[in-house]
């Protein structure tokens, strides 16, 4: 028997899930150059920059909070212009970078045909190198109402409706896996930051997510940002263990929103994976 402490733990030297403050429109704190420099100093061999693509035709831009959130788009053309510009900016800066730098988008997925058509149009000019599938929303099944988890308080959503809308949170993740759009799926249980989706009543849906990742052999991430926010990585350890049993590929992400977050808690993540002998590690295969 080999104990994890005796095994040489190799550190993953890249992240494909990071953010910048490009054009003052995104929620990172640093510029593209600063993030590249930070990644280089952290010993990364490559860096993926994945700013948010958050678009839905029914996005409630009218609420105060979302009006201030410049990443939220209900206007397809505006979303397209911004995502094309940010991809261009990263590609320009990548030319002078000491490491490989890739353009990704962290995409808030929605299953409707309308959203898919618009999404395909939005990315058609930017042509990102890879895509991360994310769900930061609760919604009704028909997407007539989409509510961002970070702005739930301002939405005045009645308590009694939340469980119903949360079912679609998990269904949304399942559909994002099936969509085939994404290189990997982000932070499966980001909802726990808001005290949502916690407790045994959600286990069945979480197991459905696990079954779908297994069925499609779809990569997902161990997101270390959970440690700095709620003291636990994303997703729960039991989910990682279950996915390991099924040999589903995993990637570690720092979800860095500033230079100081780069490679944050990677040692802890490596130890966790070594401790359960997680073998199937994932890295997007990008050819430029």
Distance of closest approach, residue 51 Cβ to Zn ion, in angstroms:
9
Least CB distance from residue 187 to Zn ion, whole Å?
6
Q: Which residue is nearest to Zn ion (CB)?
A: 255
Q: Is 11 exposed, middle or buried (0-12, 13-18, 19+ CB in 10 A)?
A: exposed
Please state whether beta strands 137-139 and 146-148 pair in parallel, antiparallel, or not at all (unpaired).
Answer: antiparallel
Contact 80, 135 (CB under 8 A): no
Whichever of 253 and 270 has its CB closer to Zn ion, that residue is 253
Which of positions 87-106 make contact with Zn ion (CB under 5 A)? 106
With CB under 5 A, what is the number of residues at the site for Zn ion? 3
**Nearest approach, Cβ of 200 to Zn ion (angstroms)?**
25
> Is 183 among the residues that bind Zn ion (CB under 5 A)?
no
Beta strands per DSSP E along the chain: 14-15, 46-55, 72-73, 100-108, 130-134, 137-139, 146-148, 184-185, 220-223, 250-253
Closest CB 135 distance from Zn ion, rounded Å: 9
What residues numbered 125-154 form the site for Zn ion, per CB under 5 A? 134
Binders of Zn ion among 19-58, rule CB under 5 A? none
DSSP-assigned states of every residue in 157-182: --HHHHHHHHHHHHHHHHHHHHH---
Residue 106 Cβ vs Zn ion, minimum distance, rounded to whole Å: 5
The whole-angstrom separation of Cα 119 and Cα 115 is: 6
Closer CB to Zn ion, residue 189 or residue 255?
255
Strands 100-108, 184-185: pairing is unpaired
User: Is there binding between residue 189 and Zn ion (CB under 5 A)?
Assistant: no
255 binds Zn ion (CB under 5 A): yes
Would you tell me which residues interact with Zn ion (CB under 5 A)?
A: 106, 134, 255
């Amino acid at each position: 028997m080999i104990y994890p402490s005796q095994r040489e733990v190799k550190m993953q030297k890249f992240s494909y899930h990071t953010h910048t403050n490009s054009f003052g429109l995104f929620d990172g704190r640093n510029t593209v150059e600063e993030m590249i420099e930070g990644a280089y100093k952290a010993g990364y061999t490559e860096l993926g920059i994945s700013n948010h693509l958050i678009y839905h035709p029914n996005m409630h831009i009218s609420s105060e909070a979302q009006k201030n959130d410049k990443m939220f788009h209900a206007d397809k053309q505006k979303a397209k212009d911004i995502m094309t510009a940010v991809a261009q900016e990263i590609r320009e800066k990548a030319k002078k970078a000491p490491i490989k730098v890739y353009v990704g988008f962290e995409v808030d997925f929605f299953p409707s045909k309308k959203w898919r058509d618009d999404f395909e149009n939005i990315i058609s000019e930017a042509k990102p190198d890879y895509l991360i599938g994310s769900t930061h929303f609760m919604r009704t099944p028909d997407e007539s109402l989409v509510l961002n988890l970070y702005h739930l308080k301002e939405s005045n959503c009645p308590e009694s409706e939340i469980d119903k809308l949360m079912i679609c949170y998990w269904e949304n993740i399942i559909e994002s896996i099936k969509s085939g759009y994404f290189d990997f799926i982000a932070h499966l249980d980001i909802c726990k930051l808001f005290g949502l989706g916690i407790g045994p009543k959600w286990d069945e849906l979480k197991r459905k997510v696990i079954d779908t990742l297994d069925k499609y052999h779809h990569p997902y991430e161990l997101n270390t940002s959970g440690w700095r926010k709620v003291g636990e990585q994303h997703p729960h350890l039991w989910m990682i263990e279950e996915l390991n049993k099924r040999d589903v590929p995993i990637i570690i992400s720092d979800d860095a929103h500033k230079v100081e977050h780069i490679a944050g808690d990677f040692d802890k993540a490596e130890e966790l994976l070594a401790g359960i002998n997680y073998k199937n590690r994932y890295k997007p295969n990008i050819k430029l």
